[in-house]
Structure 1
Amino acid sequence: MTTESAQPARVYQLIADKIENAVLSGELKPGDRLPSERELVQQYGVSRPTVREALRVLESNHLVKSRLGDRRGPVVLPLTSHSLRKALTRLTSVNAVGLQALLQFRMIIDSAAVVLAAQYRTDSDLLEMERANARMRASVELGYEEFSQADFDFHRIVARSSKNPLLELSGEAVRGSVLGLIEQRIVDSGDSYALMQSSIRHHTEVLDAVRAGDGGHAAWLTRDGLYWYYFDYLDPADRPGLRALADEVRPL
């Protein structure tokens, strides 16, 4: 009995799950190729449309990429924050997670990343952070959308400098979710210019602390900066909890 005759309605998902598990376990690594469609049809004993649907699922989850006209199998992509970001977006859309919870998570993730970045950063990492900060300064006059991308890049570089891929992926996901939740509110508020200038000063201080290897100070700057950056967008009832989380790492 073939896999397809056993569960015709869900067989494509079973195939996608098997391939996804091979990627997550390291059996398949970024840059590796899956078998061709014809080989997958023979391997799983299913029809070509079923294989194509499984590949569509894998592509939508940013696990593999097929190239038009390439007869070789799809290539395995590096892991990204897409799946986690998608899950966070779903939770916020049904009000299961709000801005307070996202910021609490971000405070913890980002402050851990800067502590490790202060320990493990290289001269090349520092140069990339400096360039991202320079792009932030240059993009102020271009508008909040351009600025926020440079800001996102700065945090991504810091997280990558922590040498912990889980912090990097989680940080990207939660930062994207926070921005998606309130970006338009920031733009509509008319205060975006002041926020951008404040953010540049804050990032410069964080960069100086990371360069000096002072992870504790960098963690405090990160949590305190997040609290004040989003202060006006928080429900007053949510502020004490965020303040307490920031003060947890306040230097003595």
Structure 2
Amino acid sequence: MADQPARAWQLVLEHIERDLLDGRIGPGDHLPSERELATTLGVGRSSVREAFRVLEVLGLIRTSTGSGPQSGAIVIATPTGGMSALLRLQVAAQGFPLDDVVRTRLVLEDAVVTAIAASASRDTARTHQLLDAMDATDLTPADFLALDAQLHLSLAEASGNTVIAAMMAGLRSSIESYVQAGVVAIADWPAMATRLRTEHRALVAAIDAADVETSRTLVHDHITGYYTSAGLTRGIHSQN
């Protein structure tokens, strides 16, 4: 069967992608107006608007009405939201098996702790604040796990790699419902919370001590331990 012709809005996306790749436009630049793109590409303005909506949902541009310098469609410098949203939607739609998501998280978290522990300018101040917040004795399991997610994301952000941070944000939020649901499979939640606190502090201490190998081992065991205890995976024990 012959390939279906591209929809008009897809032609607009391809045109903008080429301009980005060729350096004709970049972060902070305005895209051509709807009228200009429609005339250049021979498509309707409604198709241009549809392409703009897709780009905005993906976090690549922001749009604003009016006539000032901030009006129109502007390329965003750090489009992390789109990647996170895409990962969340794919996992929610069961586009990715949960075990594969967890394995990917292991790869990313390994890269995160390796980068921070090996850095001479590491900054774990935000992570330490979250460690202290997780020591509160009146936290519900949901509150505790929300702080847990923030702690791991704080490490990803501290790694300095914006792509990894965006992917981590998407993976963490996409499996949040599974993590929360896993609480019911844990017979003794207070004991689990104590265990997780201890593991977190040991991990951050290893990172602060620039101990790369210990950091890698601890983050792997920490993640696989919780998912296995909560019955969320078939058991992922290997470490590259």
Higher helix share: 1
Describe the SS at the equivalent of 1:35.
Answer: coil
Structure 1, unaligned stretches of length 5 or more?
Answer: 1-6
Q: How many residues align structurally?
A: 233
Question: Is 1:132 matched with 2:130?
Answer: yes
Describe the SS at the equivalent of 1:74.
Answer: strand
Q: Quickly say closer, same or farther: Cα 1:128–1:23, change in 2 above 3 A.
A: farther
Identity between Structure 1 and Structure 2 (%): 27
RMSD of the TM alignment (CA)?
3.1
Residue 21 of structure 1 and its aligned partner are, at CA, apart by 5.1
Counterpart in 2 of 1:99? Answer: 98
Residue 29 of structure 1 and its aligned partner are, at CA, apart by 3.5
Matches within 5 A, 1:155-194: 155-186=152-183, 193-194=190-191
What is the aligned counterpart of 1:234 among 219, 231, 234? 231
Please say if residues 105 and 168 of structure 2, whose CA atoms lie closer than 8 Å, have aligned partners that are also in contact: yes
Please say if residues 20 and 58 of structure 1, whose CA atoms lie closer than 8 Å, have aligned partners that are also in contact: no
Please say if residues 107 and 226 of structure 1, whose CA atoms lie closer than 8 Å, have aligned partners that are also in contact: yes
Counterpart in 2 of 1:66? Answer: 63
Counterpart in 2 of 1:49? Answer: 46
Describe the SS at the equivalent of 1:137.
Answer: coil
Matches within 5 A, 1:18-29: 18-20=15-17, 22-23=19-20, 28-29=25-26
Counterpart in 1 of 2:32? Answer: 35
Please say if residues 116 and 207 of structure 2, whose CA atoms lie closer than 8 Å, have aligned partners that are also in contact: yes
Residue 157 of structure 1 and its aligned partner are, at CA, apart by 2.4
User: Which 10-residue stretch deviates more, 168-177 or 111-120?
Assistant: 168-177
User: Which 10-residue stretch deviates more, 21-30 or 50-59?
Assistant: 21-30
Q: Which whole-Å CA distance do the structure 1 matches of 2:17 and 2:193 have between them?
A: 40
Q: Which whole-Å CA distance do the structure 2 matches of 1:150 and 1:68 have between them?
A: 37
Residue 70 of structure 1 and its aligned partner are, at CA, apart by 5.8
Describe the SS at the equivalent of 2:238.
Answer: helix
Q: Which whole-Å CA distance do the structure 2 matches of 1:181 and 1:214 have between them?
A: 31
Please say if residues 85 and 174 of structure 1, whose CA atoms lie closer than 8 Å, have aligned partners that are also in contact: no
Q: Which whole-Å CA distance do the structure 2 matches of 1:146 and 1:28 have between them?
A: 43
Counterpart in 2 of 1:3? Answer: none
Q: Which whole-Å CA distance do the structure 1 matches of 2:202 and 2:24 have between them?
A: 42
Describe the SS at the equivalent of 1:244.
Answer: coil
Query: What amino acid maps onto 2:130 in structure 1?
Result: A
Residue 214 of structure 1 and its aligned partner are, at CA, apart by 0.6
Q: Which whole-Å CA distance do the structure 2 matches of 1:191 and 1:25 have between them?
A: 57
Q: Which whole-Å CA distance do the structure 1 matches of 2:141 and 2:25 have between them?
A: 39
Residue 217 of structure 1 and its aligned partner are, at CA, apart by 0.6
Counterpart in 1 of 2:79? Answer: 79
Structure 2, unaligned stretches of length 5 or more?
Answer: none
Structure-1-length-normalised TM-score:
0.75
Please say if residues 144 and 187 of structure 1, whose CA atoms lie closer than 8 Å, have aligned partners that are also in contact: no
Structure-2-length-normalised TM-score:
0.79
Q: Which whole-Å CA distance do the structure 2 matches of 1:73 and 1:211 have between them?
A: 45
Please say if residues 121 and 162 of structure 1, whose CA atoms lie closer than 8 Å, have aligned partners that are also in contact: no
Residue-by-residue CA offset, 1:154-198 (whole Å, 9 max, x unaligned): 222212332333332332232233324342342686755544443
Residue 62 of structure 1 and its aligned partner are, at CA, apart by 1.7
Query: What amino acid maps onto 1:35 in structure 2?
Result: P
Q: Which whole-Å CA distance do the structure 2 matches of 1:23 and 1:180 have between them?
A: 36
Query: What amino acid maps onto 2:16 in structure 1?
Result: I
